[in-house]
Structure 1
Amino acid sequence: MSIAGGVQTAIERGMKIGCTTIQMFVKNNTQWRGKPISESEASEFKRLRSESGISPIVVHDTYLINLCAKDKSILRKSREALKDELDRCELLGVEYLNFHPGSHMGQGESEGIKLIAESLNLIHAQTPGYKVKSVLEATAGQGTALGYRFEQLRAIIDLIEEKDRMAVCIDTCHILAAGYDISTEAGYQATFEEFDAVLGLNRLVAFHMNDSKRELGSRVDRHEHIGKGKIGKKGFGFIMNDERFRNIPKILETPKGEDMKEDIVNMRVLKRLMAKQ
């Protein structure tokens, strides 16, 4: 959800189209720094949220952040920016801050994983007692992006000192592109058996519900409308009818147009898939 006009407008936009959960930004998603959120804005946000019943809320970090950047200046800015986002989430009472683990930029996967964990440990040490969870998003593995294998996410979490602050988000487009076939029943079952074995289903706190323009294992991140890509309606039906995931937020990051019309259509498609496999 856009926050044009203030953070509270994300709640208003969600209410307008009947959302029970939302994903939002807490500052401009293309800038390192943002205008501080005032106490009055935070209070209005909490009031509207209470009235709306929207829960939980997921925040997506700014797209500039890379927690394993090779450039030391970018790494420092990334750490400062993610700490600022955690501060904002805590002020608003938001449950989850979702972010891509990072891109190693040629340093190698093992070095990238170590840097990501180091970054998170530093940030967590600066935010003691925070309730907001740090949520690693599974990626497509495009370029040098890390987090495209469940084992990589586990390796990061293994190096985190405060493991209870860590969680995982599955983006359906990303995991298909990374080679996890959720378009068939056998593939779907195998994928989540592997997730449970490697990470534990208790770590899973959110889904990004996106179809994929590109094929299984392509390692290319291109989102498509629900049912119009390589996952197809059947694949999304598995998730929508899986009792284990009934209370886990499902966020649309499908292509956007004006006035959220596409979101309304995609929400309708997902709802119709329930108990219709």
Structure 2
Amino acid sequence: MTAKKRMGAAKKSAKKKSANKKGAKQKNAKTQRAKKMANPPANAAARTPATSRLAKVRSASEERGQREGSKVQAPPPPPFPPPPPAPLGAHISTAGGTPEAPPRADLIGATAMQIFTKQGNRWAEREVGADEATAFRTALAASGVRFTNAHDSYLINLASPDAALRERSIASFAAELRRCHALGLDALVSHPGNFMDDRASGIARNADAIAQALEQELGPTRLLMELTAGQGTVIGSTFEEMAELLHLIPARMRARIGVCLDTAHVFAAGYDLRGDYDGVWARFADVLGYESLGLIHLNDSKAPLGSKKDRHEEIGAGALGDEPFRRLMTDARLAAVPKLLETPKGDDMVTNDRRALEKLRAFANG
């Protein structure tokens, strides 16, 4: 074979091999595509146009969230607004009639008020008519007052061993309840009586008289028995004695009865709110329970600790001083309990009461 022929044969052989390789590659590519179609990868769905667009949207949203998250965000609002402060006020004059009291309470910035429904040092009784009740309720609704109570007559002695005096006291006490119900007052504050002879007998007589009056006069007003200073033969100067009195009330009536704690009274009775604040309240909780506490009378004391003398003084000017009242106004256990001043009015009752209430609110606000 000539050299020219050999070169031609070699070229043909090279072309044939190249064609065979190209065919093999094409065949192999077809085989691979067939395998992929038969066995799609796990993330194949993510490569579809719709999910691809969704992934882009998600990615953009995440990037935007990261950019916004780097900014300082305002704290979310609380789920519920804080509760309003407990009603706070003072004893208010009813000169000119009970409807005059709510506007007077507004003058001193009071949200609670205590009144007499008659003259407290006289036996003469009176009834609350429909016109007076309507006028009082209208004036009350137009005021900022949210808690109302009356204090009963100082002449009443439900523990007296004198049958005539005791019967007169029961009738007067029932009339007090009747007037409170007519006016729609929240509470009636009453001092336990003087036993005069035997303490246990006096407590029993007092409880029986309360039950008689509650049985006779049904209505919305809650009776609050006030802890006393311990003068003479008065009942209710210790937590235990008050608990004994309340326990003697028939069980069906106990939901209508609670306790009023007067800071000057308990201090004079020997409870040291100044030097042992926590201990006094621990004892109260153990013997009477916070659920019984319907009202606190905020009074400083002119008389020293344990003196058994009922002498009220302006807040911070007496033997108690400011600190017990500061603690009372910030004590979470007492946050919902209405509080009332019974301090000396001086020559200008509006100015003095308003100043005292402002002082107490300053204590509450720290």
Partners of 2:110 and 2:144 within 8 A in 1:
no
Task: Work out whether 1:231 is the aligned partner of 2:329.
Answer: no
Which portions of structure 1, spanning 4 or more consecutive aligned residues, are displaced by more than 6 angstroms?
Answer: none
Shift of 1:152: 0.9
SS at match of 1:176: helix
Shift of 1:221: 0.9
Task: Work out whether 1:166 is the aligned partner of 2:260.
Answer: no
Q: Alignment RMSD, CA only?
A: 1.2
Q: TM-score, normalised by structure 1?
A: 0.95
* Alpha-carbon distance in structure 1 between the residues aligned to 2:365 and 2:96: 39
Structure 2: where are the runs of 5+ without partners?
1-91
Deviation string, structure 1 residues 218-263 (Cα, Å, up to 9, x no partner): 1111111100111110011110001221221111111122341321
Correspondent of 1:26 among 117, 123, 128: 117
Partners of 2:106 and 2:144 within 8 A in 1:
no
Correspondent of 2:307 among 199, 205, 218: 218
SS at match of 1:191: helix
What residue number does 2:163 align with? 72
Structure 1: where are the runs of 5+ without partners?
none
Shift of 1:149: 0.2
SS at match of 1:232: coil
For this pair of structures, how many residues does the alignment match?
A: 272
Correspondent of 1:258 among 347, 350, 366: 347
* Alpha-carbon distance in structure 2 between the residues aligned to 1:55 and 1:32: 30
What residue number does 2:175 align with? 84
Mapping 1:1-277, distance limit 5 Å = 1-105=92-196, 107-128=197-218, 130-161=219-250, 162-184=253-275, 187-260=276-349, 261-276=351-366
Shift of 1:45: 0.6
* Alpha-carbon distance in structure 2 between the residues aligned to 1:44 and 1:9: 9
Shift of 1:13: 0.9
What residue number does 2:39 align with? none
Deviation string, structure 1 residues 199-229 (Cα, Å, up to 9, x no partner): 1101101111000111111111111110011
Partners of 2:222 and 2:258 within 8 A in 1:
yes
Letter in 2 for 1:115: R
* Alpha-carbon distance in structure 2 between the residues aligned to 1:103 and 1:52: 38
Shift of 1:275: 4.4
* Alpha-carbon distance in structure 1 between the residues aligned to 2:104 and 2:151: 16
SS at match of 1:120: helix
SS at match of 1:103: coil
Q: TM-score, normalised by structure 2?
A: 0.72
Change (3 A) 1:259 1:35: farther
* Alpha-carbon distance in structure 2 between the residues aligned to 1:96 and 1:35: 19
* Alpha-carbon distance in structure 1 between the residues aligned to 2:158 and 2:142: 36
* Alpha-carbon distance in structure 2 between the residues aligned to 1:224 and 1:108: 32
Shift of 1:92: 0.7
Letter in 2 for 1:252: L
SS at match of 1:164: helix
Shift of 1:36: 2.1
* Alpha-carbon distance in structure 2 between the residues aligned to 1:253 and 1:110: 30
Partners of 1:233 and 1:273 within 8 A in 2:
no
Letter in 2 for 1:122: Q
When Rg is computed on C-alpha atoms for both structures, the one with the higher figure is: 2
